[in-house]
Amino acid sequence: MAGNLWISAPKSQEDIDEAENLKNEANEYFKKQNYDRAIEFYSKAIEKNPRNAVYYANRSIANLRLENFGYALSDASLAIGLDKSYTKAYYRRAASYMSLGKYKLALKDFEYVTKVRPNDQDAKMKYNECNKIVKKIAFEKAISVDKKEVNIADTINLDAMSIEDEYEGPSLVDGKVTLKFVTHLMDYYKEQKKLDKKYAYQILIDVKAYLQKQPSLVDIKVPDDQKFTVCGDIHGQFYDLMNIFDLNGLPSEKNPYLFNGDFVDRGSFSVECIFTLFSFKLLYPDHFFMSRGNHETLDMNRMYGFRGEVTSKYTSKMADLFTEVYNWLPLAHCINNRVLVMHGGLFSSDDVTLDDIRAVDRNKQPPEDGIMCELLWSDPQFMAGRAPSKRGVGCQFGPDVTANFLQKNGLDYIIRSHEVKNEGYEIAHDGKCITVFSAPNYCDTMGNLGAFITMNGKDLKPNFRCYGAVTHPDVKPMAYANSFLSMLCQ
């Protein structure tokens, strides 16, 4: 890639002028948060003039907004190859590295800029901020000692905690979640009030104890005449979560749900979402299910707001306990031995079976490859075969990969989430791969509908309910996200 000598030059001045017009059109789409269209027009500009570093850097930031970290990283690197003095391209690449949890590589980019531009105060400031993050993470690793990880849940003394005198919120009954507790909790959250920390810790400890007994792949039996609901990403959009329950009824033994990962991050009511969902999990353990998503991980929570939100509303110790709990969330669910549900998607290998998923040791942060990683990160593609992931993690898989996997495992179709869709859902791969995304107007910018899927146990035919976003208090998305990442993504 050095020098990008292999990238052809534009054929004429006319191509250069047209490329600039296409870039300007792309910028307009970007301003309107229509990132897909922006990428389309930046790509057209690149076709006309492949040697303009700005086009790649602009496409990189659009891909960052869509969480296509792999593509963003590649574009930023191409921009740097074309113009080694282009500071913004280094910032884009650093943001991509940080989004992928590769903080030391981000630091190298900042270090390079400070060396070639020693008087650039902005570069110095960004280098210092990134260096602080790298040192903080190294310090956290050092104090987490080597003794098979400290078990945070075991260090919490609930008996020593008292309920605050002024607290008027919901109360556990003999330490247990009741329906009255959950309904009161949701109303309490709607008023932007906070669950007492003693009850919050109790819920987390109890959820962890339950999840530890669950397999990595949970089998769900839905009776022929019973409705079952699958929801996709919620991403801290509590008021939209409440709207799902208004539209589809509260969870109960007669109205079971599966929430398919990414409950938190980006949206600034993630604490409210996760405690509501965990409360229902404790109330109806055999009729309320939760899969791990790629945002139920330490690196994502550090960057995209959940860790900051928990620390702000409670303590950093509770944020550590959440990490511990998330490690035990199941990775996939299989409905009536016919429909497999996971957050991300399928695999880079053709020989993966349901038993392989059951055998995954999930009590950890996801590795960068393998079954666990791909369940959380992979995406479908329209063309056959496989391709490197646009996200830089997992893989992209085509309709033939889906068909082979279903046949090998005796399944009808898969449901996954993980991607914003304009209608809240998408049917791909000849109806065999369904995406459902339940956070409407994602991040208050995307303008998409949300959706959930209902089916009955007899035929498992998916029915889609779409809905728009509802109003919420004036707390912006990413309010608790790492401010340094936000600064890089301007």
Distance, CA of 349 to CA of 370 (rounded, Å): 9
C-alpha closest to that of 28 among 16, 11, 40, 12: 40
- 289 touches 333 (CB < 8 A): yes
5 SS3 class: coil
Sign of the dihedral defined by the CA atoms of residues 430, 258, 374, 96, in that order: positive
C-alpha closest to that of 457 among 251, 274, 220, 248: 220
What is residue 176's DSSP assignment? B
171: which residues sit within 8 A by CB, 6+ positions away?
163, 181, 199
Distance, CA of 33 to CA of 22 (rounded, Å): 17
Task: Point out which residues pair with 259 in neighbouring strands.
Answer: 231, 290
Distance, CA of 388 to CA of 59 (rounded, Å): 18
Place of tokens 């260090």: 155
- 279 touches 185 (CB < 8 A): yes
User: Which amino acid would we find at residue 373?
Assistant: C
Percent of the chain as helix, strand, coil, to the nearest 5: 45, 10, 40
Sign of the dihedral defined by the CA atoms of residues 382, 387, 390, 391, in that order: positive
Note if 295 is an active site residue: yes
Place of tokens 């059109």: 25
Longest dimension (CA), the chain: 78
- 104 touches 111 (CB < 8 A): no
Half-sphere exposure of 481 (CA within 13 A, CB side): 26
Q: Which of 184, 235, 287, 295 is catalytic?
A: 295
Token pair, residue 119, equals: 């008087």
∠ Cα 95 96 97 (to 5°): 90
- Round to the nearest angstrom and report the end-to-end CA distance of the chain: 26
Strands 257-259 and 386-388: unpaired
Active site residues: 295
